[in-house]
Amino acid sequence: MFVNEQGEAVGRILSVKGAIATVALPEGNLAKEMEGPATVGKFLSVHTRDAHLIALVSYVRREDPNLARAFGHYSVAEVDMMGQFIDDNGEMKFRRGVTHYPTIGDAVSLVTRDQLRVIYAVNGPNMIEIGKLQQDTAVSACVNIQDMVGKHFAILGTTGVGKSTSVALILDLILQTRPDLRIFLLDTHNEYARCFKGRAFSITPRNLKLPFWLFNFEEFVDVIYGGRPGPDEGVDVLGELIPQAKAAYAQQKTGLRRADTRNSGYTVDTPVPYRLADLVQMIDDQMGKLENRTSRMKFNRLISRIETVRNDPRYQFMFENANVGGDTMAETLMQLFRLPPDGMPMTIMQLAGFPPEVIDAVVSVMGRMAFDFGLWSDGAAPVLFVCEEAHRYASADKATGFGPTRKALSRIAKEGRKYGVYLGLITQRPAELDPTILSQCNTLFAMRLSNERDQAFLRAAVSDAGANLLDYVPSLGTAEVLAFGEGVALPTRLKFNHLPEHKRPAGEADANSKVDMNGSLPIDFLNAVIERWRGIGNSQSSQRSGARMDDGSAVEDPAETFEMVRQEFSSLPTGYQGSPLPASPPLVPSNAPSLGDPGRFSVRKPLPAHGDPSEAQRFQQPQPPAPPPPSGQPQTGAGARAAFSRFIPTKR
């Protein structure tokens, strides 16, 4: 039988209402009987005739009711009954839920350290220690990783409370405890790569190979139209011709010809390869069959949109082999979900380098592929999908955000655990997160939240008996957290363990803070920064790998140049006064070829001098339109595009 350290009761039950009881406490609020007062968040033990219950103090007040004075007690506390101790073959264990309720007059004592250790038992292969109890820092606070991960979890907290460090701590422990589990982390601010060096593979636009045909129809349309709704005519054309382009490519690969590619059996969402050139050609052919000038212009605009995106160097990770073809789906899955892990079971997708208008579509593809891979592999390789800044991708407002992204995360939340796909959400604005998705997370870690809407939303999401603790969310300290749900034995206030400096997340701005911005910067440093800014370093590195100049020297990678210059400059002493920057540095000569031009390394004819109309006027004078075809003959292919190019408004 558990008794308090003094071997005597320190309070009595005054009333019981469901799982809530009122306890009379002695003068001094138990100050003499325990190391600290019985205040909110403390645990008490209730001794009934048949069981020993554990109750959590949720409210304390000073009163002098007659019944309390009769027992010699002057303070009253309201407690939530959380669970009870049971005898398991001579071994005391803790179990949530109450089967024997107390009666009026039952004794109440302080929970001892030994009892706390039984409640938060560390033994077991699925238990991980994440911190120390606030009530007794000598007792470890543990979570059941199987329940936490297998039933989804969420970490909520405002900026500056240690949320990112807590995420790094939990993921580090998961990697140690569950080596069979793949972790896919959406790193919005590129701050986690340094925490998992040697154990995680970082994906950036420079090394990602995500073919455009892996995007479903909604995702592809979102990319083509830059995150804006596409016109109905263009969307309808794509919906009709994309399956035909897939069928045409399949026929080309197999050598089997069908009279009509429209009956191929492919849909707009079937993840099979096709060539973008085939799609553009089909749109061009359709345009040539039209007689209405307005409709032709709409087709031409669609082709222009596709070609603009395909030629944009920022989208190189999607369209690098757009006109080559090839089924690389297996290689993409191996890269994304670490199959096999090769000592790196974690993937960190650094989203800060992707074009902002395409991030939603990319996240949608990642979430959808994670779920579909689990579905069609019968959960052969369990995946934990961790989403930083989750409110950006699964907004509570259906009118904002990208619907397919919300749908992909919602599907993981509702059905993912059946197929070995689990969800971890991290957000600083829970009120802006889809409540349906958050409600599927059965373990919540609530850090400090100052916004009233966020607090109200959190209160609605927590159904635990210890929800009264949420009144103290605004006053939590840094790295302090209230843990609720299946992963913890009881609703608990704890403080996360300290992480060493090299395992703490930090953005690139922190990592580059050694550069003295007060001194004069070398021109090479600024040139490298500007080149990264313009996106060249993200998209052209793969093309320039191994490229040579005319003199045989290697072409430099701008990202590597930036890092080399940064490290060299960061080693200079503080206050370095190098040569000042010129007033107007000629960063790029006006007649220099574009870095994206494949012929930029060859000798070119110089541009004509100012005033020489022989060549310059050719680019200034409008070209005469192509002659129309004979009457009754439809225009097709490139001829149709040239004939109607004059109807496209020209930018002035």
Alpha carbon distance 55, 82 (integer Å): 5
pLDDT (0 to 100) of residue 602: 40
The sign one gets for the Cα dihedral 222, 224, 225, 229 is negative
Query: 404, 219 in Cβ contact below 8 A?
Result: yes
Q: By percentage, how much of the chain surpasses pLDDT 70?
A: 72
Tokens of 281: 């050609």
Residue 287 has pLDDT above 60, yes or no: yes
pLDDT (0 to 100) of residue 99: 87
Least confident of 117-126, 189-198, 561-570: 561-570
pLDDT (0 to 100) of residue 386: 97
487-523 pLDDT, tens digit per residue, is 998 888 999 999 998 899 975 445 555 556 666 667 8
Average pLDDT over every residue of 370-391: 95
Average pLDDT over every residue of 269-277: 94
Residue 621 has pLDDT above 80, yes or no: no
H or E element: which one contains 560? helix 558-570
Nearest to 647 by CA among 149, 155, 304: 304
Alpha carbon distance 193, 195 (integer Å): 5
Average pLDDT over every residue of 346-354: 93
Alpha carbon distance 21, 100 (integer Å): 13
Nearest to 84 by CA among 358, 490, 476, 582: 490
- Ranked by mean pLDDT, the top range of 37-41, 91-95, 342-346 is 342-346
Exposed/middle/buried for 62, CB within 10 Å: 0-12, 13-18, 19+?
Answer: exposed
Q: Give, in degrees to the nearest 5, the angle at Cα 243 between 239 and 247.
A: 165
Residue 94 has pLDDT above 50, yes or no: yes
Residue 130 has pLDDT above 50, yes or no: yes
Least confident of 209-213, 331-335, 604-608: 604-608
**Which tops the pLDDT comparison, 66 or 589?**
66
Spatial neighbors of 226 by CB under 8 A, at least 6 apart, are 309, 357
The domains located in the chain, with CATH, are 11-120 (no CATH), 127-212+323-507 (3.40.50.300), 217-320 (no CATH)
Q: Where are the alpha helices (DSSP H) in 145-292?
A: 145-150, 163-177, 217-224, 232-254, 276-288
pLDDT (0 to 100) of residue 313: 87
- Helices 329-336 and 356-376, packing angle to 10 deg: 100
Average pLDDT over every residue of 308-313: 91
Residue 2 has pLDDT above 70, yes or no: no
pLDDT (0 to 100) of residue 616: 41
Q: Strand, helix or coil at 583? A: coil
pLDDT (0 to 100) of residue 520: 65
Residue 292 has pLDDT above 90, yes or no: no
C-alpha count within 13 angstroms, C-beta hemisphere, residue 634: 12
Residue 367 has pLDDT above 90, yes or no: yes
